[in-house]
Structure 1
Amino acid sequence: MTDTPALTRFLNDRLDDDEQIARAATQGEWVWSREFVTPPGYHHRTVGPLEPGDAAFIAHQHPARVLAEVDAKRRLVEASAVDCPPACGRRSEHSFSGSCALRSLGPAWEEDGARWVSLMEERDGKWVHVGRVPAPAVTSEWVLRLLALPYADHADYQDAWRP
């Protein structure tokens, strides 16, 4: 099981870095002409021409787009930090519903060549096993691992986080 709090801290730190860099850049839509990428109103200065694909990529990374991406990723990271009910026992298996797969699924296990989760019901204030269903393919831990993948070259990235 992944150290989800450490992975969450790592992602929030990288998002802070991305946000700081984007906010320090000139705001507004960036444009590119034949050989240059600049924010509107700035003069061209370059040491050499840009290839059209490179120029388009740089212009695509304008601050507003980066800040929107940072916001979306922060919402996913925040949603993943919601604790499962005590009956779960396997925090990494929960969904983004705010509880362990809509508060009806228990821990996952391998059996008969497949991954399963307990189908749970609350009875008299306790969660009881009432059957099994295939485990969901997407857990919040899996999404966090994918969100961290672009930062795999960072010194604080842990190989155990690879999806």
Structure 2
Amino acid sequence: MNGMDDLLEWLRAQLEQELQEAFAAGATLRGGGGTTLDWRAAGSAVLVDGMRSPLGEPPIVRARFMEDMPGYEVERARALRIAAHDPDRVLCEIDAKLKIVERYAGLCEHGDTGNTAWVLQVLALPYADRPGYREEWRP
């Protein structure tokens, strides 16, 4: 195996781990069913539509801060960030990354990657803090 083969294998493992974690997070919230959930920021809270509490309200993922309380803006920013990265969206992003990785693997099988190894190196950057990452892979 050469360095790019090792990177390909390592990156697949990272993406598969992230895929399992995102799936588990979504499945936990939707009770294992196939319902799509809609995550949205409401003030400093994140509401999850697509499921209901016993009172008929969407569950709140983060505690709500009142607008006039110190720290509201920070909590609002967090709520927006969480809502933008709900498990369903993360699953779509990981799927797209895996398609890029598999496309590269297919090119490798045919012996012509067209100088695209940099794509794997860039895809691996968010995982550089994980065990097994090699500095030689850094673009």
Normalising by structure 2, we get a TM-score of 0.70
Report the CA distance between 1:38 and its aligned residue.
Answer: 3.4
- The reply on whether 1:94 has 2:113 as its aligned counterpart is yes
Alignment of 1:11-160 (within 5 A): 11-25=11-25, 26=29, 28-40=37-49, 41-43=58-60, 46=63, 51-82=75-106, 83=108, 94-95=113-114, 139-160=115-136
Name the SS for the 2:10 alignment partner.
Answer: helix
User: How many angstroms apart in 2 are the aligned matches of 1:59 and 1:30?
Assistant: 5
Query: % of aligned pairs identical?
Result: 35
Report the CA distance between 1:72 and its aligned residue.
Answer: 0.7
Q: Where does the alignment leave 5 or more consecutive residues of structure 1 unmatched?
A: 86-90, 96-138
Tell which has more relative contact order, 1 or 2 (C-alpha 8 A, sep 6+): 2
Report the CA distance between 1:84 and its aligned residue.
Answer: 6.0
Contact 2:44/2:62 (CA < 8 Å) preserved in 1? no
User: How many angstroms apart in 2 are the aligned matches of 1:6 and 1:16?
Assistant: 15
Q: For the aligned residues, what is the CA RMSD?
A: 2.3
Aligned residues: 113
Report the CA distance between 1:46 and its aligned residue.
Answer: 3.3
Report the CA distance between 1:160 and its aligned residue.
Answer: 0.6
One-letter amino acid of the counterpart of residue 59, structure 2: Y
Q: Where does the alignment leave 5 or more consecutive residues of structure 2 unmatched?
A: 30-35, 50-57, 66-71
Higher helix proportion (structure 1 or 2):
2
One-letter amino acid of the counterpart of residue 126, structure 2: P
Higher strand proportion (structure 1 or 2):
1
Aligned to 2:33: none
Contact 2:22/2:90 (CA < 8 Å) preserved in 1? yes
Name the SS for the 2:15 alignment partner.
Answer: helix
**Runs of at least 4 residues off by over 4 Å:** 47-50
User: How many angstroms apart in 1 are the aligned matches of 2:125 and 2:105?
Assistant: 18
